[in-house]
Amino acid sequence: MPRILLADCEQEISSFNPVSCDYSYFSIKRGEEIYRDRGLNTQMGGALSVFDAEKDVELVPTMSARGPSAGILQKKSWKKISDEMLDRIAKAAKGIDGVYFAMHGAMGAEGELDPEGYLLQEVRKIVGEKIPIVIGLDLHGIMTDRMLKHIDGVTIYHTYPHVDFADTGVRGAKMLLRIIRERLNPVIARVVIPALVRGDELITKSGCYGDILREARRLENEGKAMFAGVMIGNPFTDVPELCSQAIVVAEDGALAEKAALGFAEAFWPNRHRMQGKLIPLDAAIAQAKHMQGPVIFTDAADATSSGATGDSNAILAALMKAKYQGRVLVPIVDPPAAAMAKKAGIGAKITVELGGTLDKRFKPVKVTGTVDMLSAGHMRLETMRAPFEGGDTAVLVSGNYTIVIFSKPAYFFDRAPFLSHGRNPRDYDLIVVKSPHCEYHMFEEWAEKNFNIDAPGATSADIRSLGHTICARPMYPLDPDIGFKPKAVRYNTKRR
């Protein structure tokens, strides 16, 4: 009867967000609370569906800590999370046959820029060499050498925008059971690709990145590889091993190596295409003034879901300066302004300084308007159907501008921030969407045009504008003219 230890630690950070995050951001589940993921589209939900279907599997749930995208995690908070998690794992590890660990891969903490590698290194010490550890990762994660040295297998998302959270858990759980029952020693081959990428070509349904991942799926479906994929890292997580990388897990080491080299060779020539194509803000406004609309201004640089603060007023300020006359709908995170509106009450006329309260690169703009609505900021994301908290929220109407002001960096990639506050984006001429990509079926489908705006911010798709200081160099596009000779490294510990 295989006993499987379950653990989960997931967050992604932007090193360029000046506001660090802490323990309070995390949702913590202990012991059997992890079972609340049953039926959900999460890695753990998928893994549980596999383990639950096996009559002879016994589960040992330990701890789950998941945080939304944010700035770097404070040192004390990381210690609190990792200490408790490792303590719980140590207490539960006796007699287990395998570990399933759900991760994201783009965490970063003060004093520990490879949190996942640290956890895996410590879990390996606890469980010993013979117990297989299989992890799940986001394709935006950063797999490090230390992580690879301590795991026996990995599965990674194959879709962007991500829809296969649970499927990744399903594949990981099946892989772990195979390793245990068939006493396998898979090889993990990886090829580091010195490139950071962004932009619409990464949308797996339509972009060239998707073509590569479909080839990877083919290898898996044909039974040649236990996992195959290409991780693109998170360009905003400035850590020493940030990169793109091809990863293949297979029983046949030569096959794994050859396949990983093949994926790296297919990826590299597309690095130019896989960059954000942005339009200058002033040019977009000038065009929008002469369009019927509605038009979308996608502000990827201030995408809270990628780890930005959400308090950029760059587009709002430029529209005001240009005296744009259409009806504008814009979300912003500004705790003092939301508090002021709450205090003033519905119907009150207030003047607030908007933006730049968190990320000081934005200079506040003065806006006078009427408080049209107040709420506690409860939302339900349209995409994932997950609840999200915007904190105290106010809708401020100032002439042709409707500004939804949040206290917390909720996610702004779908229509939930607007719909939950009685605003239908289709009623406006220009809608600001703070997201790495504009979801086609939510906005673009009915809009005249989506502009990918070149604005400053912690998660700009203009990777060269971010200011990396830690990641290994040379790295495309930070170093535009570099060459690349793919080299495969095999990880196989022959534990069994």
Which residues of the shown chain bind Zn ion in the complex (CB under 5 A)? 138, 140
The residue among 105 and 253 lying less far from Zn ion, judged by its C-beta, is: 105
The residue among 21 and 330 lying less far from Zn ion, judged by its C-beta, is: 21
Question: Cβ(395)–Cβ(404) under 8 Å?
Answer: yes
3-state secondary structure of 332: strand
d(CA 355, CA 351): 13
d(CA 222, CA 207): 23
The distance of closest approach from Cβ of residue 138 to Zn ion in the complex, given in angstroms and rounded to an integer, is 4
**Residue carrying structure tokens 């820029």:** 113
The distance of closest approach from Cβ of residue 162 to Zn ion in the complex, given in angstroms and rounded to an integer, is 6
The residue among 134 and 137 lying less far from Zn ion, judged by its C-beta, is: 137
Q: Give the Å distances, CA to CA, from 207 to 110, 144, 160, 345, 412.
A: 35, 26, 10, 47, 23
The distance of closest approach from Cβ of residue 49 to Zn ion in the complex, given in angstroms and rounded to an integer, is 21
Q: Give the Å distances, CA to CA, from 6 to 33, 115, 200, 393.
A: 11, 18, 35, 37
Q: Which of 289, 294, 297, 292 is nearest to 315 (CA)?
A: 297
The distance of closest approach from Cβ of residue 44 to Zn ion in the complex, given in angstroms and rounded to an integer, is 16
d(CA 307, CA 298): 16
Q: Give the distance from CA 19 to its chain's centroid.
A: 17
Task: Calculate the dihedral angle through the C-alpha atoms of 48, 66, 386, 307, rounding to the nearest 10 degrees.
Answer: -140
The residue among 138 and 299 lying less far from Zn ion, judged by its C-beta, is: 138
The distance of closest approach from Cβ of residue 21 to Zn ion in the complex, given in angstroms and rounded to an integer, is 17
Q: Give the Å distances, CA to CA, from 41 to 49, 118, 134.
A: 11, 27, 19
The residue among 152 and 200 lying less far from Zn ion, judged by its C-beta, is: 200
The residue among 29 and 104 lying less far from Zn ion, judged by its C-beta, is: 104
Contacts of 186 (CB under 8 A, 6+ apart): 152, 153, 179, 226, 249, 250, 251, 256, 492
Q: Closest residue to Zn ion, Cβ-based? A: 140
CA angle, 128 as apex, 37 and 117 as ends, to 5°?
A: 60
Q: What is the residue-wise DSSP string for 163-197?
A: --HHHHHHHHHHHHHHHHHTT---EEEEEEE-B--
**Residue carrying structure tokens 């790296």:** 264
The distance of closest approach from Cβ of residue 104 to Zn ion in the complex, given in angstroms and rounded to an integer, is 7
The residue among 124 and 140 lying less far from Zn ion, judged by its C-beta, is: 140
Q: Which of 61, 65, 105 is nearest to 81 (CA)?
A: 65
- Residue 8, number of CB atoms within 10 A of its CB: 25
d(CA 334, CA 354): 7
The residue among 43 and 312 lying less far from Zn ion, judged by its C-beta, is: 43
Q: Give the Å distances, CA to CA, from 308 to 140, 230, 276, 392.
A: 16, 25, 17, 19
